[in-house]
Structures are given as C-alpha cells and as structure tokens.
Amino acid sequence: MASLKELRNRIASVKATQKITKAMQMVAAAKLRRAQAAAVAARPFAERMEQVLGNIAGAVSDLSQAPKLLAGTGSQQRHLLLVCTSERGLCGPFNSSIVRLARERALALAADGKDVSFFCVGRKGADQLRRQFERQIIKTVELRSVRTLGYNNAEAIAREIIDLFDTGRFDVCTLFFSRFRSVIAQIPTATQIIPATLPEVEHGAARAVYDYEPDETEILAELLPRNIAVQIFRALLENAASEQGARMTAMDSATRNAGEMIKKQTLTYNRTRQAMITKELIEIISGAEAL
C-alpha cells in the first residue's frame, strides 16, 4: 500500500494536470470560434467555384482538348494522396482518423496494382504514415511557423502539386482532410482534385447559353490551378476548425477523468490515514492496558 506522502504527491500531480487540461480546453474553445467562422465562410466560395468550372467544362465540346488538370493524363496508374493533418497532438482521434482513411485508400489502390505516393501537410500525419509508407512519402510540408492560415499557404502547396503533375509524377491526386460538422463530430473526407471532379451540368430548356471570350479551354487553363488552391485552402480551414473542436472535446474529457481520479485518490488517502490513526490508537490503548 502506498504511503500518505506518495498519495499526496499523486493527488497534487493529478490536480496540476487537471489545471493544464482545463486551460487547454478554454484556449481551444476560444480558437474554435474564429476557426469555425473561417471554415464556414470558405465553403460557399469553394462550392461556387466548382459550379462555375462545371458550367464552363460542360460547354467544352471536345474534352480531349481541355487542360490536363481536367481531362487527366489518360491513365490512373499513379496516385498521389495529399494528406492534411495538424502540427500538434492532444486532439483526440482527429489526426488518426484522417490517416486511417488515407491508409485504407492506399492499401486498396496497392491491392489493385496501382502506384501510390504521399504528400503530407502537417507533422502528425507524416509521423504516422512514415511507420508504414516511409519510402512513398515524397514531400512533407509543416505549418508550425504559420500563425494564421492564409490563401498564400494553400497556393504554395497547390503550385508544388501542379509541378509534380506536370512532370508526370502522378495521374490522380486525392485530398484528405477532416470536414468540420460540430464540436463532437468531424468527418474524415477524401475528394479528388486532379483530374478535377466537377458537378454535372443540368441540361434542359431552362439552362442559359453562354458565349465565352476567350474560349472555354483558355478560361479553364486559368481557373483550374486556382480551383486546386481554393480546395486545399478550404481543407486547411476545415482542418483548423476540426482540430480545435476535437482538442476541446478531448481536453474536456481529460479534465473530467482527472476529477474522477482525484476523488478516488482522495478517498484512498482518507481511508489510509484513518487506518493508520486507528492502528496507532489501538497500540496506545494496548500499551496502557499492559501497564
């Protein structure tokens, strides 16, 4: 049985940990409000961008003449998985759920005889994937030094992805991130960004007819790279909100667990102390009776 001093030290240690988890929960709650607002604000723009590209792509008569970012290379042998995770831990299953989805996709593609490589954004995802796919990780981008995510961060990543595509390093690129739904629900999501998967255009009498100048292929050549940057930026913002929501939930659970542990340790301490007092009283009374 542990001594009273050891029990006091344990209780003090758990109380100190509880203060840290409570503080982290409050910080995550403060950051979540801004991150959630940014993620929600980015959704309409990204969705509208896809709709516009879908309308323009629908007007292209010969897709073989469309830019490669839309038409593809004609092959689906080489796949690049763009995995976006966080730079820090202590956020529950946030990172592991994204990595699990990417790992399952990679194993399924490998089983079909496809070549798979990884482009990691975020240190935590790269650390987990490195255990199984170290040789297949071609680039890792860390954003630890970035205080506030901006479009320029996503644009730099998109430029590297497009350069890899232009040099023939892959045929299909899939983006993995966690879509923010609520504080307790973050949805791991995979979406193909190269070749672009655009919403289908509704055909019918009510559909307006547009004339484009310059022609559709030139507009697509300009907008498709920008759309990739927009989708990556949206994924980074969704991840930022999901990370803070997951951290807030995880730290709240840790704080509650620390409270329960303190109660149990305090109860054990009181029982041990009472047993020692009782034992000392028995020894005193026994000694007095012996005299």
State both tokens at 260: 């329960």
Residue 34 has pLDDT above 60, yes or no: yes
Task: Give the separation between CA 7 and CA 170, rounded to whole angstroms.
Answer: 59
State both tokens at 269: 């301490």
Domains of the chain with bracketed CATH: 44-200+208-251 (3.40.1380.10)
**Residue 92, Ramachandran bin (φ over 0: left; ψ between -120 and 50: alpha; else beta):** left
> Percentage of residues in the chain with pLDDT exceeding 90?
56
The label of the residue with tokens 């993620």 reads: 39
Residue 63 has pLDDT above 70, yes or no: no
Residue 215 has pLDDT above 50, yes or no: yes
Residue 280 has pLDDT above 90, yes or no: no
- The mean pLDDT value for 15-29 works out to 93
Q: Where are the beta strands (DSSP E) in the chain?
A: 78-84, 115-121, 137-141, 172-182, 185-194
Instruction: Using only the alpha carbons of the chain, give its radius of gyration.
Output: 28
- The mean pLDDT value for 195-218 works out to 66
State both tokens at 110: 């490998």
- The mean pLDDT value for 29-34 works out to 92
Whether cis (ω within 30° of 0) applies to the bond prior to 67 is no
* pLDDT tens profile 79-107: 999 999 999 888 989 999 999 999 999 99
pLDDT at residue 61 in the model: 66
pLDDT at residue 206 in the model: 46
Active site residue 91: yes
* pLDDT tens profile 107-159: 999 999 999 999 999 999 999 999 999 999 999 998 887 777 888 999 999 99
Task: Give the separation between CA 61 and CA 67, rounded to whole angstroms.
Answer: 13
Question: What is this structure's pTM?
Answer: 0.85
Residue 71 has pLDDT above 60, yes or no: yes
Residue of 84, 91, 120, 173 marked active site = 91
Q: Packing angle between helix 151-166 and helix 216-290, nearest 10 degrees?
A: 120
pLDDT-derived band at 205 (thresholds 50, 70, 90) equals very low
pLDDT-derived band at 48 (thresholds 50, 70, 90) equals confident
Residue 4 has pLDDT above 70, yes or no: yes
Close Cβ partners of 230 (under 8 Å, ≥ 6 residues apart): 45, 46, 49, 154
